[in-house]
Each structure stands twice: as structure tokens, then as C-alpha cells.
Amino acid sequence: MKNKKLIEAKKLIKSIDNDIQIIVERHKYTRGLTCEPTEKRIYLGFRATKIENQTFIDLVNELEPNFFQKYKVSLWLLSVLHEIGHIQTHDEELEEDYNFCVDFLNELKLNNEITEKEQNEYYVRLDLEQMATQWAIDYVKKAF
């Protein structure tokens, strides 16, 4: 299954922007998908938590109600599109605030001041995250 998902992701990424570098993360500590927008690099990992998946699904359905019922796209492919969205919508002016917020949320979680669910609910709603998610949604709406 992972090989099929990997092939789908690589084809999708290259069909949108052939210059994006794809790095497959296979070791057991790798989490889900990540991106370095300024480097045009996407890391493909396969270990997102149930909470991470659910908070992403919840945000998608807030931005586009019944998205997964309307558009028969997998969570995996939408997540890959989200990472491409980071590259397509990158805004250097928002980067400093974004990094501060991510570090702050991580610190709150490490100090047990918020739960993993709360951390993810705040995280997916950061400006750069929402911009990438909206880009992914808009791409699917145009393509499908």
C-alpha cells in the first residue's frame, strides 16, 4: 500500500511542479508529510496520528463543508496537495509569526498545558497552514 501511495504522490507532485524535490522518509520515527517551501522540498512520511488526521479533516470540512463526500479524493492525496500548497502560497512575511506559534504550541504541549488534540486544532488554523489547505481544496475543486 505504501508503494502505491508513494507513486501516486510523486506523480501528483511532478504534474504540478516538476522542480519540487521529493524525499521519502522511511525510518520508524518519521511522522506524516512535511515541507520546506523555500527549498521546494516535500518529505513523504506515513505515520500521521489519528488526531492529526482528524483535525485536518475537521478543518477541511470547515473550509469546504462535506468536502470528502463531494470530491472523491483520499486524505493522503489531499495531504500531499496541502504540502504542495505550502510551496505555492509561501509568504515570507508570515514565516516568523508562524515559527513562533509552532514553537509556542510545542512548548505548551511539552509542559502538558494543552493536549495533543488542542495543539493540532490550533496548528491547522495557523495562517500558513490554512493557506496551504485552502490551496489544496481549490486545486481539487478545479481538477475534479
CA distance 68 to 17: 24
Query: Over 80: is that where the pLDDT of 30 sits?
Result: no
Q: C-alpha grid cell for residue 61? A: 470540512
Average pLDDT of the chain is 92
Q: Where are the domains of the chain?
A: 2-143
Q: pLDDT digits over 54-75, tens only?
A: 999 999 999 999 999 999 999 9
- pTM for the full predicted model: 0.92
